[in-house]
Structure 1
Amino acid sequence: TLSQALGLNNSAVTGLVGRMQKNGIIERKGCAEDGRASRLFLSDEGKNKLPILYPLIQQVNEKLSEEFSEEELETVSRFLNKVIDIFK
């Protein structure tokens, strides 16, 4: 499910999840409804990193959008949403 939501193949997501788990950012727990599945949860350490990440994300978004008008940003957003819909 996570692979589909992110638009990545299973091996890419497995590697990403493994690295995040190794770094203590997420915790993996078995799924009670489906023994083959795992559920991912943000760890306390991961939650502690959120106040650091939000300003960085804001800075990146501002930098990427500073040269575009609102109309251009809306066009890009519509395009990217269509691409996402195609690969769902």
Structure 2
Amino acid sequence: MSEIVVYELDKPAATRPSPGTPGGAERRVRTVHAAPAAPGTHTAPGPRTLCGKDTFAMEAAPWEPSEHPGAPWYPPEYASVVCPDCDAVMEI
């Protein structure tokens, strides 16, 4: 089974406009989850994360665990916000 890392984002917060951020809205990663790939694809997450949350409003991360042998399944810079339930499933 191929997993995809997805970000659960905070609601947009009004900030000063910055290049690359449309409308001055910045969204922080609230929680990092893992989701199985959707049927027939290796790049889109399925409808639910491994912990059971809906992925509809989540954003797929550019991080692919298979491209980083020996690294954790999530991007290291987000270690403090990893979903403990998804992490437990990924460790099995």
Structure 2 length-normalised TM: 0.23
Larger RCO (CA within 8 A; separation ≥ 6):
2
Structure 1 length-normalised TM: 0.24
Higher strand share: 2
Higher helix share: 1
